[in-house]
Amino acid sequence: MQTGLEDQLGLYQKRIPIFTRSVKGRFRRFKTSVLVLAYAIYFLLPWLPWSRLDAPAQAVLFDLPGRRFLIFGLTVYPQDVIWLALLLFIAAIFLFFVTGLVGRAFCGYFCFQTLWTDFFIWIEHKIQGERPARVRLYRQPWDREKLVKVGGTHALWILVSFWTGLTFVAYFTYAPQLVVDFVTGQAAAAAYITTGILTLSTYAAAGLMREQICTYVCPYGRFQSVMYEPETLAVHYDARRGEGTLGRAVVRAGRGIVVERRRAEGAVAEERRRSSLSAGQRALAERNEKGFGDCVDCGLCVQVCPVGIDIRDGLQYKCISCGLCIDACNTIMDSFGFPRGLIRYDSEKNLAAATPAPPRVQWKRLKTIGYGVALALMIGYLGYSVATRGSFDRAVNQIRQPLYVVLSNGDIRNRYQIRITNKAAEDQTYVFSARGIPADALDLGNFNEITIKPGHSGLVQASVRLSPAVAANTQHFELVITPRGKPAEARSEKVRFDTPGKRP
Ligand code: SF4
Ligand code: SF4
């Protein structure tokens, strides 16, 4: 049910197509480099061979039937879920940390949605031409040219989407075999369903919806403002410099400078008039002297924007901080011989200063230092945990009901349950011994050793029997578990021994 404003506006706003103009510059080059690197990693990684005895020779393989992730030489089992939790925490804190410093840099350069949309725009550009040609094609009736160019664009988008989906599936099964099975109809149903869903969603998100995903679907754009501080760097238009006191002024050869005046509030274009300036008077000093700002109102910053906004209207939640408008404006500033940086990464605080300083990342703030410290601690712990992980996990629990048993000859017996999880890539046999008590005190019943498959756990029941004299002097002892043939990987566990009279 719609009410109030919704009645007037409707809940859905039809997408207005955006035809971006291509641009050259520092940020465009950086975006392209990130895209090439990210695509190289995503599409090539499943094809990277890695020699293994008990699994397909694939460097990164998420082996769901085997309940393990094989990542180069590392095998991750469900028991290592703490690593996944840590990784998610690190990713979240890293996002907050970076946003506090440089705004939505993640969105502009690294987000999957941005990367795929960027590539799809590149395809569109290659087939349909630069912005004016694409606008013309969009407006012309459906003829042979439009059918071929638009159809070709969508066909290529679907092909890239399909390969994106199939590549994702290749992370879960041996890639060369998957492609053969997929083509011959032998692949698992899940492979076809997953590839189909990802093909459709990639095509819809990067080809059809594009900036609508960032604006309406992704929650990050909505709560980014919580993480912004006055010192945060973001893409800003220097309105003081760009507008001067009289507003922007367009230079048009032979017709002088067309001035767009604005009201004192500066919100809406109010009046257009021809200025008395001649076309030759483009020098910055002359413009500034007459009260005009540095913005020549060329509109290039709007034409290159992938989300179709005008950054001159101020910082907006739709802006993904891609920096393309900076490149565009710098190109214009260069052509007029004006200083660069009319649009730039800067902070609100610096822009508001009487004389803005050169923009720089301001990290000396409590919040960013806090994020930085938390990040360093978690990354350090994760690194330490991965580097020092043994080839098996163990847990020794004392059976507490009863805590101890006094045998007929006076000896005291405690019982324990030992759980071992094999994290090695092959079957492993474990042997047990004890330190701090007589060698024959440890009794494992019929099991003197246990063999466990990779990624599986095994339980062993053990009991320790001590004479009253030894028991009286034994608070703890050490249970030693050794993978057979690998004494260097032996691990010991300090275990409590209870006797009558001791506090439980
Ligand atoms: S205004 Fe547009 S082009 Fe400029 S940084 Fe934001 S999203 Fe990118
Ligand atoms: S690109 Fe620069 S000069 Fe051109 S309209 Fe945008 S801000 Fe003004």
The answer to whether position 412 is within a domain reads yes
Both tokens of residue 470? 């030894």
Q: Does ligand 1 lie within 6 Å of residue 160's CB atom?
A: no
For residue 323, give the ligand 1 atom closest to its CA.
Answer: 5
**Which ligand neighbours the alpha carbon of 321 most closely?**
1
CATH number for the domain including 448?
2.60.40.10
How many CA atoms, within 13 angstroms, populate the side-chain half-sphere of residue 350?
A: 19
Pocket test for ligand 1, best of 23, 30, 31, 319 (most atoms within 8 A of CB): 319
Is 218 within a domain?
Answer: yes
Ligand 1 midpoint to CA 309 (Å):
7
Ligand 1 near 107 CB (within 6 A): no
- Ligand 1 nearest atom to the CA of residue 318, by list position: 7
479 located within any domain? yes
Of 210, 226, 242, which residue constitutes the final position of a domain? 226
Asked, for residue 350, whether it belongs to a domain, the answer is no
**Could you tell me if residue 446 is inside a domain?**
yes
* Residue 343 CA, ligand 2 centroid: distance in Å: 8
Cβ atoms of residues 497 and 475 within 8 Å: yes
CB atoms within 10 A of CB 158: 15
List the Cα angle 373/377/379 in 5-degree steps: 115
Q: Is residue 460 part of a domain?
A: yes
Angle formed by the axes of helices 112-128 and 144-170, to 10°? 150
pLDDT for position 302: 97
Ligand lying nearest the CA atom of residue 344: 1
User: For a substitution probing ligand 1, which of 30, 320, 327, 344 has the most ligand atoms within 8 Å of its CB?
Assistant: 320
Quickly list DSSP for 234-281: EEEE-HHHHHBTTBEEEEETTTEEEEEEE-TT--SEEEEEE-S--TT-
User: Which residue among 197, 226, 255 closes a domain?
Assistant: 226
Which ligand is nearest the CA of 304, by number?
Answer: 1
Give domain status of residue 140, yes or no: yes
Question: What is the C-alpha separation between 504 and 498, in angstroms, rounded?
Answer: 7
Contact, 322 vs 109, CB < 8 A?
Answer: yes
- Structural contact between residues 428 and 449, judged by C-beta atoms closer than 8 angstroms: no
Proximal ligand: closest to the CA of 297? 2
Ligand sitting nearest the alpha carbon of 18: 1
Q: Is residue 318 part of a domain?
A: no
| Spatial separation of the C-alpha atoms in residues 113 and 54, rounded to whole Å | 36
Q: Using a 6 Å CB cutoff, which residues line ligand 2?
A: 237, 242, 295-301, 312, 328-329, 332, 342-343
Residue 332 CA to ligand 2 center (angstroms) comes to: 7
**CA 252 / ligand 1 centre spacing (Å):** 26
Separation of 265 CA from ligand 2 center, angstroms?
A: 20
Q: Give the pLDDT of the chain (504 residues) as one tens digit per residue.
A: 444 454 555 666 778 899 999 999 999 999 999 999 999 999 999 999 998 777 788 999 999 887 888 899 888 888 788 898 999 999 999 998 999 899 899 999 999 999 999 999 999 999 999 999 999 999 999 999 999 999 999 999 999 999 999 999 999 999 999 999 999 999 999 999 999 999 999 999 999 999 999 988 998 877 777 788 899 999 999 999 999 998 888 875 544 444 444 433 333 333 434 344 444 446 788 888 888 899 999 999 999 999 999 999 998 889 999 999 999 999 999 998 899 999 999 999 999 999 999 999 988 899 899 999 999 999 999 999 888 888 898 889 898 888 899 999 999 999 999 989 888 878 899 999 999 999 889 998 877 789 998 878 889 999 999 999 999 999 999 999 999 988 988 999 999 999 987 655
Looking at residue 273, its pLDDT comes to 40
Number of domains in the chain: 2
Question: Ligand 2 centre and the CA of 408: distance in Å?
Answer: 96
Ligand 1 and 300: CB distance under 6 A: no
Residue-number span of the structural domain to which 417 is assigned: 392-496
Q: How far is the CA of 402 from the centre of ligand 1 (A)?
A: 70
Last residue of a domain, one of 171, 206, 226: 226
Number of residues assigned to the chain: 504
Ligand 1 centre to CA of 301 (Å) is: 8
